[in-house]
């Protein structure tokens, strides 16, 4: 399972052979809340069966990207996305400007 935790939502593009994957936050905004989503809405299967999810986030300089990661990880846990998974890779942005961004993953 690869969880893209970058607001640009570009972590899974090559694995999915696609331009972009819909993010948990954008789908939740369209549906009304994250509780209205199903795991099938946000998880796509790519190359060699790798499951892919993008958390998404606010535009740069607007809001806290860490909140999006927290919301996404909580949703994935509640929906059982981590069940029967051997490895999980979190792709986080490298230019963290606040300490709160990586804390939910710890």
Chain segment 42-52, per-residue pLDDT in tens: 999 999 999 99
Q: Is the pLDDT of residue 7 over 80?
A: no
Distance CA 53, CA 51 (A): 7
The residue with tokens 């993010």 is 23
Q: 11 and 94 in contact (C-beta within 8 Å)?
A: no
Mean pLDDT of the chain: 84
Report residue 92: phi and psi, to 5°. Answer: -110, 155
What are the tens digits of pLDDT across the range 67-106?
778 888 999 999 999 999 999 998 887 665 555 555 555 5
Give the total number of structural domains in the chain: 1
Residue ranges making up the domain that contains 83: 2-105
Distance CA 31, CA 63 (A): 20
Is the pTM for the entire model greater than 0.75? Answer: yes
Q: 3 and 15 in contact (C-beta within 8 Å)?
A: no
CATH of the domain at 101: 3.40.50.300
Sign of CA dihedral 53, 58, 59, 63: negative
């Amino acid at each position: 399972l690869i969880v893209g935790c970058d607001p640009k939502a570009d972590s899974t593009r090559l694995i999915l052979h696609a331009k972009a994957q819909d993010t948990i936050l954008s789908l939740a905004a369209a549906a009304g809340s994250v509780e209205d989503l199903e795991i099938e809405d946000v998880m796509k299967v790519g190359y060699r069966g790798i499951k892919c999810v993008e958390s998404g986030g606010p535009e740069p300089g607007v809001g806290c990207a860490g909140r999006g990661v927290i919301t996404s990880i909580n949703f994935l846990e509640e929906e059982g996305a981590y069940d029967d998974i051997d490895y999980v890779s979190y792709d986080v942005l490298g230019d963290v400007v606040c300490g709160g961004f990586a804390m939910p993953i710890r």
